[in-house]
Amino acid sequence: MGDRGPVDITYLLSKKVAQLTK
């Protein structure tokens, strides 16, 4: 689950940023 860790964080961050920019 090492490769999935960083990927999940980036995905979550992108979603949060999208909501903030909205």
pLDDT confidence of residue 15: 93
pLDDT confidence of residue 2: 55
The answer, as to whether pTM is greater than 0.75, is: no
Q: Is the dihedral of CA 8, 13, 16, 22 positive or negative?
A: negative
The pair of three-digit structure tokens given for residue 21, joined into one six-digit string: 């920019």
Tens digit of each residue's pLDDT (9 = 90 or more) over 1-22: 456 677 788 899 999 999 988 7
The helix, strand and coil proportions of the chain, stated in percent and rounded to the nearest 5, come to: 80, 0, 20
pLDDT confidence of residue 1: 47
Give the span between the Cα atoms of 11 and 15, in whole angstroms.
Answer: 6
Residue at token pair 């903030």: 20
The pair of three-digit structure tokens given for residue 20, joined into one six-digit string: 């903030």
